[in-house]
A and B are shown apart, each in its own frame.
Chain A
Amino acid sequence: MSKRLRVNPILCDAHGVCAGLLPELISLDPWGYPILAPGPVPAELESLARRTVASCPALALLLEPSLPALARETR
């Protein structure tokens, strides 16, 4: 099953480690927070993505199975 990256914005502290390790899929915004490339993680980058997730000092980066769209959140 294909995987996708997700960042927990509450935990993320803009250390920027992820963008250094996986520039193919992660860039940084003007404040240093990661911007993830949309879509699933290409198979050839999956092991690097897994190492990047493990290197996040805030444990804010997640590698998850791509799930079908869930019901929208209500306000």
Chain B
Amino acid sequence: MTGEIVELAGDAADTRASWAAGSAELPRVLPLVPVQGLRAHEGRYGGPGLRGTALIAEVERSGLTGRGGAAYPTGKKLRTVRERAGLRGAVVIANGMESEPASAKDAALLARAPHLVLDGIALAAEATSARAAYLCVRRPAQADALAAAIAERGGYDPVPVQLALVPERYVSSAESSLVRYLNGGPALPEFTPPRPFERGVRGRPTLVSNVETLANLALISRHGAGWFRSAGTASAPGSALVTVSGAARSPGVYEIAFGTPVRDVLALAGGGGEIGGVQAVLAGGYFGSWLPGGAALGTPAAPDTLSAAGAAFGAGIFLVLPAEGCGLAETARVVRYLAGQSAGQCGPCLNGLPAIADALEQVAFGARGSGRGAHGRALRWLRDLFGLVEGRGACHLPDGVARLAASALRVFADDVRRHERGPCLAAHGRPVFTVPPGPAQAAAPARAATARTREARG
């Protein structure tokens, strides 16, 4: 144990040197070697600097935005919750759920720098006058490791962090799901508004922030807005964690400066496309959109630039489709998975998502000798379905599915035409993306799982 700390202290010295030089060297948020233990953490990062309202002002100057997908300005969110806190106080929720199957960055961060995240939670709780703070995760092993880290902190934090092991489901990481769960309900999306910052846990204004966002908050407290802005671009300052998978030699989690061209992001993962190069990139993951290879590679990886290109940075997910893959087949498998993740609360989602999955499978796999008429009918039905599900759920799952499927029809338009004569060879080949098991396993036990975890938490 002691040996480990000494070893890590050496690593820490190098990183501090680069900060002292005011350079934009990475990594910032995600250390290469886990920083385990509070002493090792303090040795590497030192104690927090700015706190309270001074920290909120500094975060506003830094331009930090949420790293969970929506890229909402963190300073604005902190200020809103603080202003609404009043005498009852606020609540802080650190969102470490990472329900998106193609993302691994929050798990990596929580494993390698748990105390940086816990510092961020403590600082956010203090700054928003919070009475309670929660860290939500979905894996029991994660919860065990984090419970040990929290226990080490003793009276270190103004508000002790409570760990919540939340039932695993795609929509359980939505902020309204976490609030509903912590209020004693199921971890499923709630009808909003009122939004959590207006009325959240026990009716209190509630700040829900991604764990990577909170780690950045902890670093801004120490090093300030100027340091934060020394990485990234003027419109998207700072660094971000990305998860690269699909046709990549070294798939995994990497830290990049915002604005790094997607080509260089993929190069970190050993480059994409083994034989013929990159056919397309699914930027933003299951909740994002496809970009054709050429357009994707030159685009700077940042929320504003990827949105302008017709995709999303989201939670920093890049799925690489090689030249020999079938984008329609890959998308159909992802959409089938997402349809199975519907909580079944909202009619348009419950009915519309399986219908989209069926129609997209018809287009991709041309099932059961159905002929040309069926292909055209499926395409027309898809266009109608997108309009029928968008904006009609309590959460954004239906919007995400419609967006993803529509982007596949747009980017793989040539394949759509070719598939009229039947599926391509690649459609029935080995899938490039690893999609979790389908609805048969995922849909039914959700409520049972909720009850079980609740008893365990008791």
The segment from B230-238, B343-351, B365-373 that touches chain A is: B343-351
The A interface is mostly helix, strand or loop, or mixed, namely: loop
Given contacts A71-B197, A72-B70, A75-B68, contact A30 B388 (CB under 8 A): yes
Interface residues of A in 1-46 (CB under 8 A from B): 8-14, 29-33, 35
Query: Cβ of B287: which chain A residues have Cβ within 8 Å of it?
Result: 75
Query: Cβ of A29: which chain B residues have Cβ within 8 Å of it?
Result: 348, 388
Is the C-beta of B175 less than 8 angstroms from some C-beta in chain A?
yes
User: A8 to B195, Cβ gap below 8 A?
Assistant: no
The segment from B274-282, B390-398, B422-430 that touches chain A is: B390-398
Query: What total of A-B pairs shows CB separation below 8 Å?
Result: 71
Query: Cβ of A10: which chain B residues have Cβ within 8 Å of it?
Result: 190-191, 345-346, 394
Q: How far is the CB of A74 from chain B (nearest CB, A)?
A: 4
Query: Cβ of A35: which chain B residues have Cβ within 8 Å of it?
Result: 388, 392
Given contacts A71-B72, A74-B70, A75-B70, contact A33 B174 (CB under 8 A): no
Query: Cβ of B192: which chain A residues have Cβ within 8 Å of it?
Result: 73
User: B396 to A9, Cβ gap below 8 A?
Assistant: no
Closest to B194 in A: A70
User: A12 to B72, Cβ gap below 8 A?
Assistant: no
Identify A70's interface contact among B193, B345, B349, B394, CB under 8 A. Answer: B193
Number of interface residues of B (CB under 8 A): 35
User: A32 to B68, Cβ gap below 8 A?
Assistant: no
Is the C-beta of B137 less than 8 angstroms from some C-beta in chain A?
no
Cα A11 to Cα B393 with chains together (Å): 11
Cα A73 to Cα B190 with chains together (Å): 12
Interface residues of A in 31-74 (CB under 8 A from B): 31-33, 35, 70-74
Cα A20 to Cα B190 with chains together (Å): 27
Closest to B348 in A: A33
Q: How far is the CB of B203 from chain A (nearest CB, A)?
A: 18
Given contacts A75-B174, A75-B287, contact A9 B72 (CB under 8 A): no
Binding site for B on A (CB under 8 A): 8-14, 29-33, 35, 70-75
Binding site for A on B (CB under 8 A): 66, 68-70, 72, 76-77, 80, 173-176, 190-193, 195, 197-198, 208, 210, 287, 315, 345-349, 351-352, 388, 392-394, 396
Sampled A-B contacts (22; CB under 8 Å): A9-B191, A10-B190, A10-B191, A10-B345, A10-B346, A10-B394, A11-B191, A30-B351, A31-B348, A31-B351, A32-B347, A35-B392, A70-B193, A70-B195, A70-B198, A71-B76, A72-B70, A73-B396, A74-B72, A74-B175, A74-B208, A75-B175
